[in-house]
Amino acid sequence: MTLPFSASNPPTQIFLNNQFVDAKSSQKFSVYNPKDSSLVCDKVPLCGEDDVNAAVDGAEAAFPKWKKMPNTERRDLLLRFADLIDKHSEELAVLTRITLGAPYESFGRFEGSMAAESFRYYAGFVDKFGGESYPQDNGFLKITRHEPLGVTAGVVPWNGPLGTVGLKAAPALATGNCFILKPSEKTPFAALALGHLIQEAGFPPGVFQVVSGDGSTGALIARHMRIRKISFTGSIPTGKKIQQMAAESNLKRVTLELGGKSPALVFDDCNLDNAVTWCVNAIAANTGQVCFAASRVYVQEGIRDQFVAKYKAALEERAKTIGDPDAKGTIMGPLVDESQFKRVMGFIERGASQGNLLTGGQRVGDQGCFVQPTVFTDVDLDAEISQNEIFGPVSIVNTFKTEEEVIEKANATEYGLMAGVFTQDINRALRIASDFESGMVGINCVSLTMMNTPFGGSKQSGLGRECGRNALEHFTEPKTVMINLTY
Ligand code: NAD
């Protein structure tokens, strides 16, 4: 059976208590296709307080039974849901593509598989995240249990509308929490369509719900007195507001996955082709709309000319694959919408006075939000394009002489999500890996993530971690039980 939704019939109801229902709020928002700026839908519900309250009521009612569901049943539900995501991967990708513009082969397939793998990975943890017991040294046996938090929520961005759902919902549900999802107002459809798969997998009503809306809906979630945890992925300014709202309301737990300005350090002794391949993919994937994109490349002066020539040629080759995201063979689609297009073009225009344009810099075509991969060289450390996340296919390339000098430059931003170093010298690589101020480091690779290792940023790039065992810790709290054995 196929999903009851399609590009011409996207979901326009929210998903509460295992039913698609009309939102109580009469407000709607519109979404557009970034390949030609045509209207996709003007009837997406902008959920208000009554809708968020209804979701919380449903989740609270479901929680007592859900947290006590036998492990094997919960595991099987997550596995069935993962299989359903895989089965409907292409349909879900279409629902994302009509507003994100990401081609299936280069992004949609990857994203669907990332979401499905999250549910499989955390299904495996359902009966393996036990507590601890401590020595009976003083007449007491002490045990700790990892207790679910109750009603939890995920507020996600538009650049990975399905992948980010898996990273939040899977550990939340695996540990016995109920979960309310709020997708981005730019890419609401795949998340809403998941409701159909939630029903089919057999989740009890209220366990996994989806409300659509914009920042105002996200703020209702962040301020809600009965939501105990918010896991947020998005920009740093919004992340700060969320932390503030969480603190001012009920001190709900907060995980923040925020922006990046990730450096890649390319040393004279590296495998040049390997370094070029990773650096190109790191800034071109998803049209540069990737939080851990290597957008600052530092090349040691001995191989500067070779690196720059190959990097430029490879990006110009990639530019030939820009086109209609629905067409076969397209690797790079447009930016997500006109506001993002204007933002990226603004950085490019101002960048012209901050560095030397190596390649790109132009819009592609005369409609839609297509932009060439763009590189500036010799940019000052304090320039706007050195210090700000552009979130498009725009990078800077600078030269360095020594390890000490480049480490200082690499760390000289407020971001700290990912960093990469390319060298054949393992001692240097490990030294630099320890000196980087970042949550993740790649040696002879950059801008990548693994399901079983912590994902997240240091400094202003985030708070807490997703993936691996860490995500389970962020969706539970230890409860200490002391048993008096002398009574
Ligand atoms: P954004 O902060 O504008 O929005 C993200 C989500 O927050 C959306 O669902 C939005 O509706 C909601 N929101 C907006 N204002 C809110 C408010 N006041 N209260 C509560 N919710 C609110 O971010 P974006 O433009 O959608 O995404 C791009 C950003 O996300 C980039 O900075 C990127 O680096 C970051 N990102 C980070 C990661 C990561 O894992 N570190 C992954 C993907 C994207």
234 and 289 housed in the same domain = no
Kindly tell me if the per-residue pLDDT of 487 is higher than 90.
no
Q: What is the pLDDT of residues 324-376, one digit of tens each?
A: 999 999 999 999 999 999 999 999 999 999 999 999 999 999 999 999 999 99
291 lines ligand 1 (CB under 6 A): yes
Nearest-10 Cα torsion for 418, 420, 425, 430: 0
Burial (0-12, 13-18, 19+ Cβ within 10 Å), 457: buried
118 and 84 housed in the same domain = yes
Atom 23 of ligand 1, residue of closest alpha carbon: 234
Q: Which ligand 1 atom sits closest to the C-alpha of 234?
A: 30
Q: Report how far ligand 1's centroid is from the alpha carbon of 428 (Å).
A: 35
Alpha-carbon distance 435 to 430, whole Å? 9
Atom 42 of ligand 1, residue of closest alpha carbon: 291
Kindly tell me if the per-residue pLDDT of 1 is higher than 90.
no
Q: Is 384 an active-site residue?
A: no
Domain that holds residue 314: 262-448
User: What's the pLDDT at 130?
Assistant: 87
6 within a domain of the structure (yes/no) = no
Q: What is the pLDDT of residues 277-286, one digit of tens each?
A: 999 999 999 9
Q: Report how far ligand 1's centroid is from the alpha carbon of 257 (Å).
A: 9
pLDDT tier for residue 137 given thresholds of 50, 70 and 90: confident
298 within a domain of the structure (yes/no) = yes
Alpha-carbon distance 162 to 156, whole Å? 9
175 and 309 housed in the same domain = no
240 and 303 housed in the same domain = no
487 within a domain of the structure (yes/no) = no
233 lines ligand 1 (CB under 6 A): yes
Q: Report how far ligand 1's centroid is from the alpha carbon of 430 (Å).
A: 32
Q: What is the pLDDT of residues 407-448, one digit of tens each?
A: 999 999 999 999 999 999 999 999 999 999 999 999 999 999
Q: State CA 45 to chain mean position distance.
A: 23
Query: What count of residues does the chain have?
Result: 487
* Residue of 31, 110, 155, 236 best suited for mutating to test ligand 1, as the one with most atoms within 8 Å of CB: 155
* Residue of 233, 242, 455 best suited for mutating to test ligand 1, as the one with most atoms within 8 Å of CB: 233
Alpha-carbon distance 163 to 364, whole Å? 28
CATH code for the domain in which residue 83 is found: 3.40.605.10
pTM above 0.75, yes or no: yes
Atom 34 of ligand 1, residue of closest alpha carbon: 259
Q: Where are the beta strands (DSSP E) in 37-122?
A: 38-45
Cα–Cα–Cα angle for 224, 18, 5, rounded to 5 degrees: 110
* % of the chain residues with pLDDT over 90: 99
338 and 243 housed in the same domain = no
Q: Residue 359: which of 396, 387, 330, 325 has the closest Cα? A: 396
Residue 160 three-state SS = coil
4 within a domain of the structure (yes/no) = no
221 within a domain of the structure (yes/no) = yes
Alpha-carbon distance 189 to 5, whole Å? 9
Average model confidence (pLDDT) across the chain: 97
7 within a domain of the structure (yes/no) = no
Q: Report how far ligand 1's centroid is from the alpha carbon of 238 (Å).
A: 6
169 and 81 housed in the same domain = yes
Active-site pick, 111, 185, 257, 466: 257
Atom 16 of ligand 1, residue of closest alpha carbon: 215
330 and 438 housed in the same domain = yes
Backbone phi, psi, residue 64, to 5°? -55, -40
238 and 295 housed in the same domain = no
Q: What is the pLDDT of residues 392-403, one digit of tens each?
A: 999 999 999 999
44 lines ligand 1 (CB under 6 A): no
Residues 6+ apart with CB under 8 A from 309: none
Residue 44 three-state SS = strand
Q: Residue 455: which of 166, 112, 105 has the closest Cα? A: 166
* Residue of 47, 100, 184, 220 best suited for mutating to test ligand 1, as the one with most atoms within 8 Å of CB: 184
Total number of domains in the chain: 2
Q: Report how far ligand 1's centroid is from the alpha carbon of 299 (Å).
A: 31
Q: Report how far ligand 1's centroid is from the alpha carbon of 161 (Å).
A: 11
5 within a domain of the structure (yes/no) = no
User: What's the pLDDT at 278?
Assistant: 98
238 and 307 housed in the same domain = no
Atom 40 of ligand 1, residue of closest alpha carbon: 257
193 and 129 housed in the same domain = yes
333 and 219 housed in the same domain = no
pLDDT tier for residue 243 given thresholds of 50, 70 and 90: very high
Q: What is the pLDDT of residues 147-164, one digit of tens each?
A: 999 999 999 999 999 999
Residue 49 three-state SS = helix
Kindly tell me if the per-residue pLDDT of 21 is higher than 90.
yes
368 lines ligand 1 (CB under 6 A): no
Q: How many CA atoms lie within 13 A of 122 on its CB side?
A: 32
Atom 39 of ligand 1, residue of closest alpha carbon: 257
Q: What's the rounded mean pLDDT across residues 232-250? A: 98
Residues 6+ apart with CB under 8 A from 163: 110, 111, 114, 115, 118
191 within a domain of the structure (yes/no) = yes
User: What's the pLDDT at 192?
Assistant: 98
CATH code for the domain in which residue 358 is found: 3.40.309.10
User: What's the pLDDT at 410?
Assistant: 98
Burial call 294-319: b when 16+ CB within 10 Å, e when fewer: bbbbbbbeebbeebbebbbebbeebb
214 lines ligand 1 (CB under 6 A): yes
218 and 303 housed in the same domain = no
Backbone phi, psi, residue 190, to 5°? -60, -40
